[in-house]
Amino acid sequence: MLRSTTARGLAAAALFCLATPGFAAVGKVLFVLGGASVERGETALAAQRGLELESGDTLVTGLSGRMHVRLDDGAMLTLKPDTRYELTDYQIPEAEPAETPTAPASTDTETAEEPASLVRTRRSGRAFMSLIKGGFRTITGLIGKSDKETYQIKTPVATIGIRGTHYETEMVGDEMLLAVWDGIVDIVVQTPDGTQTWSFGRGQSFSFGRIGSDGSVTGLEEPPPQFAPDGTPPLPPPPRGRRDGDGPGPGSDDRRPVEVRSTDDPSDLGGNGQEPPPDPDPVTSVAMGTGPYRQTTGFASTANTTVAQYGENGELTEYTAGHPDGAAFYAIGSASAADLGFDPDTGIRWGRWTDGVAQLTIDGTGQEALDLTSQSLHYLTGPAADQPPAIPITGTASYTLVGNTNPTDANGNVGVLGSASLTANFTQQTVDSVVNLAINESIWNASGSGSIIDSSNLFSGTYDTVSVDGDTEGNSGLFAGFFSGDADGDDLPDGAGLIYNLTNGTDAVTGAAVFGDPSP
């Protein structure tokens, strides 16, 4: 039986303030693909990198358009094609005053309480928005983390509230699809029985749902197929897999209703699709790289190793791989793992170590500290097997991006991978790579080629062209990766993992990309 929390009093929370045209910038456009615009009053502005956004703006993307936005409270937002999204009333948090004003003496209750209300508003800000059509994916910022009622998104079928989260939603016909990758999303709907609330996300029965225009709410075992990465993932991509023994996949009619529950058990992943680590087998393909560690401009390398250990959430915790100074053993140490992902079609896992000190031993010469306080070590691992997969000697294939880590530099900045592609010519034993990303308010574009190493499943190459905001002078890059699997029996590897490292001589940017769905 469907369980929910009925709260007629929450109806007021679904109301949104009328937009008052703002004059202070609340964010800016970072990245645009295809047609997009910003409507401000009676004026339509072309969406372009650096355009400042105001409260009251409506963000619009065309049939093939995408727009990536950073709001000034730290929120990241990507609009999907054919979307209208209104920043109805967006007020950036301000610093709390050193001395809280005292309410004036008054017998008028509203007058007496007004200053306290204003202090709260200055401290927390507010984000009242509307999804009119289409869809978006977001990592929320400061607004809503301390007071969830300061963050609301109105859609044609429901109101969205959050408790600090990373989620995705899209209108398809007269229903809304929802996927929660981190945190918790509260969905408020109006039914004949009154206003009702359901919660999705970590610690809940479901992380994915379908909300109808009639107020019906259905939990899904897997993310809806509309949320599969399409080659331009704006944020850390969702895992495409599910736990062994989980329920039916997308398209099945056998769906369980939502049953809200909570848990303090950190091992409960709430249906987010993280799979347990594989049983240890002799050979695992590893690709890894980092920024300018040890006075270098960074590196990317690959290896087939018999040492690869995973933690309880599927994160890589130790492994052997290459290094510019020789064979090396890596251990996660006090660092943490971020951007974790797993693609069951290729068997590739990805992530990055960050915010701590990892341990590095090179050629058995002793242990060194790898300081990841302001940079990250990105990694990819292929499925364990008795031996590396056989690589065809003829044919070509184009691969589609299915997952990635967020690119990072050595200054603590985290960016977004706009797009990436990989093609392989097995007859010539060559590969071509293209990556386009945004980080620290700059756009990096790189393209180059490389070779398959000694007819193995490993490859490496260099980026012949690297531009930063259109400037190519003094820039360079390199990449390394591996092919994975032939589960389909079509003589083409099922996928590939690639680490890229780009530099302009001053900064180095590193990231990981995973490719699947080969097209001959």
- Chain mean position to CA 113: 41
Q: Give the pLDDT band of residue 238 (cuts 50, 70, 90).
A: very low
pLDDT digits (tens, 9 = 90+) for 141-192: 888 776 788 899 999 999 999 887 888 999 999 999 999 988 899 999 988 8
Question: Using CA atoms, how far apart are residues 378 and 166, in angstroms rounded to an integer?
Answer: 21
Contacts of 253 (CB under 8 A, 6+ apart): none
Nearest to 150 by CA among 130, 128, 169: 128
- How is domain 284-519 classified at the CATH fold level? Porin (2.40.160)
Helix (H, G, I), strand (E, B) or coil at 421: strand
More confident call, 231 vs 1? 231
Distance CA 224, CA 209 (A): 8
Which pairing describes strands 126-133 and 83-91: parallel, antiparallel, or unpaired? antiparallel
Which residues face 469 on adjacent strands? none
pTM (whole model) above 0.75 = no
Quote the CA–CA distance of 421 and 486 in Å, as a whole number. Answer: 20
For 150, how many CA atoms within 13 A lie in the half-sphere containing its CB?
22
d(CA 187, CA 211): 9
CB 463 within 8 A of CB 476: yes
Q: Where in the chain is the domain with CATH 2.60.120.1440?
A: 5-96+116-227
Q: How far is CA 110 from CA 17, 99, 120, 183, 360, in A?
A: 19, 22, 15, 35, 62
Lowest-confidence pick of 2-11, 86-95, 162-171, 324-333: 2-11
The H-or-E segment that residue 111 falls in is helix 109-124
Looking at 50-114, which runs of residues are DSSP E strands?
52-54, 58-61, 66-71, 76-79, 83-91
Lowest mean pLDDT among 28-37, 229-238, 285-294: 229-238
- In this predicted model, what pLDDT tens digit does every residue of 370-394 receive, in sequence order? 889 888 999 999 988 877 888 888 8
List the CATH code of the domain at 5-96+116-227. 2.60.120.1440
Q: What is the pLDDT of residue 284?
A: 86
Q: What is the DSSP letter of 427?
A: T
Tell me, what DSSP letter sits at residue 114? H
User: Tens digit of pLDDT for each residue in 457-506?
Assistant: 999 999 999 999 999 999 999 999 999 987 444 578 999 999 999 998 88
CB-based contact 125:92 (threshold 8 Å): yes
Query: Other C-beta atoms within 10 Å of 94: how many?
Result: 11
The CA-atom distances, in angstroms, between 146 and each of 162, 202, 222, 379 are 11, 18, 30, 34
β-pairing, 284-290 vs 299-305, is antiparallel
**pLDDT band (50, 70, 90) for residue 278:** very low
**Distance of alpha carbon 255 from alpha carbon 253, whole angstroms:** 6
> Which ranges in the chain are annotated with CATH 2.40.160.90?
284-519
Most confident of 65-74, 142-151, 267-276, 450-459: 450-459
